[in-house]
Structure 1
Amino acid sequence: MITRIREASQSLTFRIAALLALALLPIGLISVATTFQLLSQADRKAETNLMALTAEAAAPEAAFIRTGIGAANMLASMIPQLRDGGWNCSDQLTNFIEQSDGFSFAGYIALDGTIACASDGQGEDTSSRKIYRDMTDDPRTRITVVRDAMVSRTSVVMIAVPVIEDGLYNGYVIVSLPHGKLFRPLDQLSADRPLDLITYNNDAEVLTSSRGLDDVEPHLPEHYDLADLLYAKEGAFIDQTRDGLLRVFAVIPVVPGQVYALGSWEHSRNDFIEGLSVTSSMLFPVAMWLVCLGVAFFAVQRMVIRPTRNLRARMLQFMRSRRISEPRYEAATPRELRDMEDTWMRLAKNVLHDEAELYDTIHQRTVLLKEVHHRVKNNLQLIVSILNMKVRKARDPEVRSALTDIRQRVMGIARVHQELYETSTAERVHAGELLKAIVGHTVSSVIDDASSIAFEESYDDIVVYPDQAVPLSLAVTELLTNALKHLGAPSEGEKPVLTIHLRREGTDDAEVMICNSLSAHTPEGDAPQGSGLGMALVTAFAHQLEGNATNESTPEQFCSVLRFPVADFDDTDVPSELEWSN
C-alpha cells in the first residue's frame, strides 16, 4: 500500500492536483463558473485519449495490412519471372501461404479473369467478381472485404495489387487475410475503456468491426458517413450513434490513403452540484488567485517546462547531428515525462537503425544493378570475340564488311553497359559523363592517332534514367561511327574537325549534335552516303527517347542532331506513414 502511494505521488497528475488543492481550497466555491470550460477540456482530453487508444487497437490490423500490401507487391513483381518459368508456381505460392502467419490465399488473376497462378483454385474464373471489374476499370492497389471468398469460402480482407508490365496493365495479384486472424480481442487493451472499433477503406467499405460485420450500421455516427471520414490526419469528434447513444469518435489513418480506423467509446462527464453560490468579497478571491497563479507557475515551471525544454534540446541535437545523449533527471521530474524521455530514446534508436538498414538496402541494390551491367558487358564481349573469329575466317569481302559492322555495333552496346556500371547510380545516369566516356572509347578504337584530328566536345550536366541512357548511348555510338567514317579534311593541310555537343534546350529538352568536316573533294551539298542501316537504327533509338533525329549539312560539314525530352525526377522525400494532428 505504501509503495503504491509513493508511486502515485511521483505522477504529474498527483503533484499538480495536490498543489492546486492547497492553493484553491479557499476559493473552491467559485469554481462552478468554470464548469463548462472544464467540460470542454474534458471532451478534448477524451478525444485525444480515444485517438491514442484507437491507434493502439488498430495496430494489429495495420501491421497485417501493411504486411499484406508488401507481400502482394512482391508477388506482383515476380509474375514476369513465373511466367517465363512456365507458370510452375503453385508450389511456391503454397509454400508462401504455409510459411506466412495469417494469409489464406495468394494468386495472380490474368486479364481474362482466370486464376493463372495461385496457392489454390488455379484455373477458376473470377470475371464475375466485383474486384475483377473494379481492377479492370481502375487498376490500383485496393483493400476490400469479401464475405464469401471464392477459394477459401470464408470472410476475408483482400488486398489487390495491379501487375504493370512495360507501362501496361496485365492482371492483378491478390492476397487474402482471414478475419479470424486479423482482429485482436479488444479486452486485451483495457477493460475499463469500452471501445468499439471498425476499419474501412477509401471507398467507405467496412473491412473489420469489433462487433462483427453484421452489426455495424447502428454504431456509426448519426451525422457523418464513412465517406466523410477519410481524414488525412488524426481527428476526433462527439456525435450520437444511429441508435441514439452519445459517444466520442476518433478517426486514425491506418494506411494513409487506403485504410482508416474509427474508434468510439461512451461519452461521460463528471456531474457537479447545482445551486452553489459565492458570497466572499472580491479582494479575497483576487488575493487567492494571485497565490494560486504563483504556485501553479512554480509547479509547471519546475515539473513540466524545464524537463520539456531539456527534451526539446536533446531532440534538436539528434536532428542536427544524429547524436543521442542520455537524459539527466531531476528529483522533481514527473514519471510521465520520464516515460516520455524513455519513449523518445527508443524512437531515436529505431530511427538510426531504420536509416542504417535503408542505406544498406540502397547499396545492395546499386551493387546488384552494376553487376547486371557488368555481366551483360562480358557476354557481349564474348559475342564480339566470336565475330572476330568469323571475320578472320570469312573470304568474301562483303561478308567481312557486314560482320565488321555487326561487331562494331555489339562493341558499342558493350561499351554502353560498361559505362552504365562504372558511371551510373541505381536510378540516375549523368548523360554527359556517360557520353564523354563512350566518345573517348569510340574515337580511340577508330583513330590510332587522336592528334591527327581537331576534336571539340562539350557536355552539359544532364541527368537521365537508365531507360533513357541506353538508347541515347546507342544512338550517339551510331552517329559518331558514321561521322568518323565520313570524316574529311576541309582543305589541303588542315586537320579534319569532329565536334560533339550535349546541350540542355530550355527546361525540359536536350540536344546532342555530332558534326564532322567534309573532304574538300566532296561535291557541294552531297551528304555522306551509306547503307542506311545506321540512320534507321538512330531513328528507332530516337523514337524510344520520344525525340527525333535530323541531319543538317553545309559545304564544309555534315551534322546530325538528336533532340529528346528529359524526364523529370521526383526529389521529394518519402512521406511518413504516420501523420499527427495539431
Structure 2
Amino acid sequence: MRNLSLAWQIVLLLSLALLPIGGFAVFEAVRTSGRNETLLAAELLRVANRAAEVERLEIAEGFGSAKALARSAAVASGDRAQCSAELTDFINASTRYVFAGFIEADGFLRCSSVGDVIRDFREDEGFRLQIENPTRTVTVVESGAVSRQAVLIVSHPVIVDGAWRGTLSLSVPRDVVRLFDAVDDSVGELQVALVDDSGQFLARSDYAIEQSWWLPVGLADRATEPETGPYVFRENDTRGTSRLYAYVPIVEGELAGIFSLPNTPGNATGLATVATAIALPVSIWILCIMLAYFAMRRLVVDPVRRINRSILAFKGGNRGFAIRPLPPAPGELGDLGESFTEMARTVNEGERELSNLVEEKTVLLLEVYHRVKNNLQLIISIMNIQLRSTTSERERATILRLRERIMGLALVHQRLYETPSLTAVPADGLVSEIIQNLTEGGDDETGQAAILTELDSFPMNPDQAVPFSLLVTEALLNALKYTCHQKDDARITVQLRLEDGTVHLLVENTIDPDVIDSDSLSSSGIGHRLIGAFVLQLAGRIERERTESLYRLDLRFDHVTPSDAPERIGAPGRQGLRRVS
C-alpha cells in the first residue's frame, strides 16, 4: 500500500469496511430473488393448472360427444348414408367441431360429415394403435386428412355387441382450444403450447413458426422422464435465454400443456438473477466509494499535494514558489499550510541574512589571506635585499633557507586566496609550485638534479596545508643541498599519495658520501628539528633511511577533508609551531 496514493488507500480501507455490509446486502438480495422466483413458480403453476383444468373439461366434453355418436344407431347400423347424415347434422349444430368421421375396422373412412369422402387410414400410426388397444385418444395434427387445417382430434372406439367396429373422431380447430383462453391475466401475458407424450409440440399460442422461439429446448428428453404430475422447471429457450416453465398433464400419457411467462426481470435466473440481485447494493457501494474518493481528493489529497509541492520547491531552492500563499484548505491542513509558509518565509529571511554574513566574512577572509601573503612577500623582498648586500657565504645560505621557508608559507595563503571555497588547497598543486620555486629561484648549487614527481590530486585543509608546505619545503631544501651534482644519475624523487584516508609523502634523493660530511644528515641540525615539529603538528609518523647512495624521508599522516576540519583539526594544532631551541 505504500506505493498507492492517500486517496486510493482510504478508498481501499473504506471498501474493506463496507465489504461485510455489502456482502450481507448481496446475500439478502439473492435470497429475496430466490423467494420471488419460488412465489412466481407457484403462481405460474396455479394459473397453468387452472388453464389445464378448463382444457380437461373441454376434452372430456369432446370424449362425451364422441362416445354418444359412437353409440348412435346410425353409426352402429352400418348404413353409410345414414351415418354420414347423422355426423353432418352434428357438425352443423355445433360451433366447436369442424369435422366428424367414422373409420371402420378395415381402416377406411367412408362415413363423415363432409359427404362421400373415402380415406385410407390403414398406415396411420394412430389407427394401428387402435387396432392393438381400442381406447379413447387425443392428438393434435398440423393438417387434418380431411379438414386440411391444424386440429385437435378426439377419438373414441365404437363397440357393437362387444366387438370393435372402428373409431369415431371429432376435430376441433386449434384456434378455439380453450387452453389459450383460460389464462389468468393476473400474471401477465402467458405463453402456452401443447405437447404429446413424446414431447412433440402440438399447439402454440403463437401460430407463426418464427414466434415459437420461447419454447424450451430438450423437452423430448424431459417428456420421457418418469416424473408425473404438474411441475415447474427452468430451461433455456431457443435463443439461449433461461426461462421459467410449467409442465401440466391434461390427458395423462397423451397430452400436456407447456406454460411460460414472458422474459421479464422477474423471470431471469443464473447470472442474470445474481446480477439483478446485487445491482442495487453494488451500485450503492460504488457510489459510496466514488463519494469517498472525491471527498478525500478535495479535502485531503489536493491540499497535501499543494503543501508537498511547496516543500519540494523549498528543498530545491525555489524559495519564491515555496513562500507564496497556499489556497485555502479545510481545518488542520489549512493551519499546516499556513505554518509551513510562515516557516519558509522565516527560514528564507534567515538564510538571506546568513548569506550576507557569510559573504561579508568571505570578503574579510580573502582580505586576510591577501594581506598575509603581501606581508610575507614584503618580508621575502627585504630578505632578497639583505641577500644581495651580504658577502658571507654562511649568512647567504642562512638567508636563502629562511626565504624559501617563508615562500612556502606565503604559497599556502596565495592558494587559499585563489581557491573558490577558501577552505581547501590542492595538495598536488602546492607541492608542484614549491618544487618550481626551489628549482627556479635557488642559487647555482641547487636545481641541477633531475626531479621526478608522482602526485595524487586531492584537497587539503589549511590547518594541514601550512605545516605540510613548510615540511615539504624543508625536505626539498635538504634534498637539493645534499644531492650529488657531479653524477649523471643525480635525482630527487617526490611521491604524494592518498591511500585509505592516509597521506603518504616520500622524498628520496641521491647522495655522495665523499661530498657530505658525517654530521650533515644527523638529527642535530635545525632542518631536522623543524621537520620534527611539523610532523608533530600534523600528528603524523616519519621514517628516515640512508644508504650509501640514497637518502629517503617517508611521512604518513591522516588526511582531514575540508568538511571535517572544524571537528578534527586542532588536536596537534593547539600546540602550534613550538619554539625550537
Calculate the TM-score normalised by the size of structure 2: 0.41
TM, length-normalised to structure 1: 0.41
Q: Which structure has the greater CA radius of gyration?
A: 2
